[in-house]
Each structure stands twice: as structure tokens, then as C-alpha cells.
Amino acid sequence: MKRWQKLGCLGVLLMVAACCTAPVLVVAAARARGGAPAGSSVSAAAAGIPERMFAAYLTGAAQVTSYVPGCRGMRWQVLAGIARVESDHAAGHLVGASGDISPIITGPRLDGSDAGGNTTAIRDTDGGRWDNDSAFDRAVGPFQFLPETFRAYGKDVNKDGQISPHNADDAAASAAVYLCGDGRNLGDREQLRAAIHTYNLSWAYVDDVMSGIDRYDALGTTPALPSGNVGAVVQAALAQQGIPYSWGGGGPEGPSTGICCSPGGQDGGTVVGFDCSGLTQYAYAKAGIMLPRTAAEQAGAGRRIPASAGFGALRPGDLIFYGYSPTSDSTIHHVGIYLGDGKMINAPRPGKQVRIDPVTAMPDYAGGARLL
């Protein structure tokens, strides 16, 4: 998402800072104990986040009250939700032990030419210091701050005398400060949504970030396993956690290579794993039910549960669908298996693995189907 699409998204102000050894020590201590970093019951691997970035989120959340004493409810999941959308946790870049990121992350030149969706020119405010552009601004760092915003909110977390949007620790703590405002309660969902909206004045952006936060919040809490055929289906799907997504991959016999190519360009023929409907085929085969191959076709199996009935109509083991039109099965593009307690098991998309997600992880709920 481009928070620069409108002046006022992160205003023309955003932040980033430099790194310290503290986060590294947190992770090292956790390794010594054989557990997750302090402040989290979830490991970086379980969250699907690079370890050094995960440490930065933990540190930023833990330190924010030293800058905004009245802030409540800040947690690593909030920072991870923002950074997931802004930079996919600095994907494709090296994050050193100090937290410094290379090569640096910069967005498109904000010259009003519609690059990256920007139609309002933002003249240079940092002399090219952070974005290497002395004519126009570019968003910078893993949290994609505008230079002027970062200058206003950036924090020197490691006290080395430098504040950099290209340092994971400074950036995370600065984002936490920005989101806290004058002292928000980010444990309140509406206040959290309002805070994210100040980061980018787009409610679609807010929904995207919130879906990530919900997923991170849901980690480590798996509903109790049902019995009978429902339990067999759910257990079979849960056992595939960590298997890669493969476009066109998987089926009743288990994971397999897929086909070329996904809309994002993944060649499933090079990946052994499941796509969403391949996973559901495999799980239901354990109960002796052979499902059609695609998610749209699977919507015609069993007793259909309309989207209008809400998530509360679902039971563990039900198929759960997402589509561009909730009343048209032909538009369904994703399927998972409902676990109960607002969670599902699914193969989400290329580059990810089979995992547990909240049912709100995708915005276009299209109902479910009950076969058991």
C-alpha cells in the first residue's frame, strides 16, 4: 500500500530509526531457553517473519511507552501487520545484526506522475538524505515512512546518535510511536483501526493490515480437535502445516508439484505442496469424500451455507469460501477448512505455507459448505 496516495496518509511525516544489540540479545536469550523471544509466545518461524525483523517488532512494542506513556495495547502483531503490507518484512533485503537494512528500501518517486498510485507531487524534504532523491520524496524503510514524517517521529532506539528509517529497530519503534498518537488504546479494535487509517487514508489498506494482525494474534491458539470424520478431516489438514503453497499442487493423495503459472508468476511445477483446493481435497479424502478440484466447484458440494448467515453458521470441518461475489459460486477463488473459534486451516497463496488463519484474513467471505 502506498500511504503517499493522499497528503495526510502519514501526513507528509513518517519515521525510522537505528538499531541496537538489545533485540539480538532478546532472541539469543530465547534460544538459550529453547523458547520464543520475551514478550511473545510465538516464534519468528511460526509467524513466518524473518527473525531479525521479529526482534525489532518485539523491541518497538516493548519500548513505546517510554516515548508515549499513555499508549496502551501496542504489541508486536500491530507492527508486524503494518510491515507485512509495506515491505513484506523487508523481503529481498539483508537485515544485519545491528538492524541495518541493505540495500535500502525506497518507494517510487512521488512526483505526481501516478507512479505507485501517487498523483500529488511531494517535493524533497530531506535533501536526499534517506531516499537518495534531492528533487522529490520517496517513502523509505521497511515501514515506508515519508522523510518528513520520519523526521518528526523517528527515535534513536540504540542511542548511537543516529536515527535511520533504514534500521529495523528505529523504524519499528518510530512506527509504534506514530500509531500510539497522544495515547491511544490499541487494544480497542476501533481505536486500532483509526490509528492504522492515519498511517494510510484508505479503509482497504486498514482491512489489509488488520487481516495480518488478526492472523498473528491467532497464532498458537488451535481449537480442540473434533471427533469422528470431522476430526479426521481437520487433523489431516492440520498435519500439513508448513507445507509450501504450490499453484495447482496437491490432491487426494497428498502434496505434489503443480502447474504454471499463478497470477503472481509462481511456477507450481517447481514446488511440491498444496494450493487451497488441493489441501481440502486431501483432507476430505481421509473421510472418504472425493471433492472436485477447484474451489468454485467445491462450493457445489454438500449443503451450501450462505454468506448472509455469517461466520456463526459455520461448524468445524465445514468448507469456507471467499469470492468476488458472495452469491455467485463461479467467482469463488479461495477455500479453507473451518476449525471453530473463528479460525481456519488453509493454503493461503504462493510463497506461503499451509497455516492457521482467522476467518477474517480475507475480506470477501462467500459462505461455506457442510459435507459431514
Last residue of a domain, one of 156, 189, 218: 218
Give the pLDDT confidence score for residue 111 in this predicted structure.
81
Distance of CA 101 to the CA centre of its chain: 20
Helix (H) or strand (E) holding 83: helix 76-87
Alpha-carbon torsion angle 117, 120, 126, 131, nearest 10: 20
Domain contains 249: yes
Asked, for residue 13, whether it belongs to a domain, the answer is no
Its domain, for residue 339, covers 228-370
For residue 1, pLDDT beyond 70: no
Q: Coil, helix or strand for 42?
A: coil
Are residue 269 and residue 134 in the same domain, yes or no? no
Looking at residue 32, its pLDDT comes to 29
- Clarify whether residues 113 and 154 are in a common domain: yes
Q: Which three cell numbers stand for residue 310?
A: 455469517
Q: Say whether pLDDT at 218 is over 90.
A: no
Tell me which of 25-34, 270-279, 344-353 is least confident.
25-34
Residues 115 and 42 in one domain: yes
Are 172 and 190 in the same domain?
yes
- Looking at the domain assignment, is residue 315 inside a domain? yes
Asked if the structure places residue 4 within a domain, the reply is: no
Domain limit, last residue, from 161, 186, 218: 218
Compute the distance between CA of residue 255 and CA of residue 239 in angstroms, rounded to an integer: 12
State which of 181, 197, 218 marks the end of a domain. 218
Please count the other Cβ atoms lying within 10 Å of the Cβ belonging to residue 227: 8
295 and 329 in contact (C-beta within 8 Å)?
Answer: no
When comparing pLDDT for 110 and 279, which is higher? 279
Least confident of 143-147, 234-238, 252-256: 234-238
In the predicted structure, residue 16 carries a pLDDT above the cut 50: no
Which one-letter amino acid corresponds to residue 79? L
Of residues 167, 261, 276, 333, which has the active-site annotation?
276
* More confident site: 185 or 158: 185
Residue 266 sits in the same domain as residue 160 = no
Question: Which among 220, 222, 187, 171 is positioned nearest to 75, based on CA atoms?
Answer: 187
170-174, 223-227, 353-357: the lowest-pLDDT one: 223-227
Same-domain status, 140 and 251: no
Cell of 66: 517510554
Tell me: the pLDDT tens digits for 128-154?
Answer: 888 888 889 889 999 999 989 999 999
* 200 in active site: no
| 3-state secondary structure (DSSP) of residue 286 | coil
Is the distance from CB of 245 to CB of 199 less than 8 angstroms? no
Cα gap 229→321, rounded to integer Å? 20
pLDDT band, residue 3 (cuts 50/70/90): very low
- Listed in order, strand segments (DSSP E) in the chain are 94-95, 101-102, 256-257, 272-273, 303-305, 319-323, 332-340, 343-346, 355-358, 365-370
CATH number at 302 reads 3.90.1720.10
| pLDDT, averaged across the chain | 85
Verify that 240 and 316 share a domain, yes or no.
yes
* Distance between start and end Cα atoms, the chain: 40
Do 232 and 176 lie in a common domain? Answer: no
**Residues 272, 166: one domain?**
no
The pLDDT value recorded for residue 110 is 83
Strand partners, 251: 254
Tell whether the model's pLDDT for residue 194 goes beyond 50.
Answer: yes
Q: Is residue 223 part of a domain?
A: no
Q: Is there a domain that residue 15 lies in?
A: no
Q: Are 52 and 94 in contact (CB under 8 A)?
A: no
Contact predicate 370/302, CB 8 Å:
yes
Q: Where would I find the H helices in 139-227? A: 147-153, 168-180, 189-199, 203-218
DSSP string, 121-148: --B-SSTTTTTS-SSB---BTTTTB-HH
Active site residue 334: yes
Least confident of 93-107, 156-170, 344-358: 156-170
Higher model confidence: residue 304 or residue 224?
A: 304
> Residue 100: beta bridge partners?
167
Number of domains forming the structure of the chain: 2
Q: Is residue 78 part of a domain?
A: yes
Bridge partners (DSSP) listed for residue 17: 167
> Whole-prediction pTM value?
0.58
Look at residue 75 in the predicted model and tell me its pLDDT: 93
Q: Are both 329 and 362 inside the same structural domain?
A: yes
Cβ-count burial 136-167 (b if 16+ within 10 Å, e if not): bbbbbbbbbbbbbbbbbbbbbbbeeeebbbbb
Total length of the chain:
372
Instruction: Clarify whether residues 197 and 281 are in a common domain.
Output: no
pLDDT at 33 over 80: no
| Domain-embedded: residue 40 | yes
**Per-residue cell: 205:** 489498506
Q: Count the Cβ atoms, other than its own, within 10 Å of residue 366.
A: 26
Query: Residues 283, 365: one domain?
Result: yes
Dump pLDDT digits (tens) for 264-278: 999 999 999 999 999
Q: What is the pLDDT of residues 298-331, one digit of tens each?
A: 999 999 999 999 999 999 999 999 999 888 999 9
Q: Clarify whether 132 is annotated catalytic.
A: no
Write down the pLDDT at residue 241: 82
Q: Which three cell numbers stand for residue 256?
A: 505434489
Q: What is the pLDDT of residue 320?
A: 98
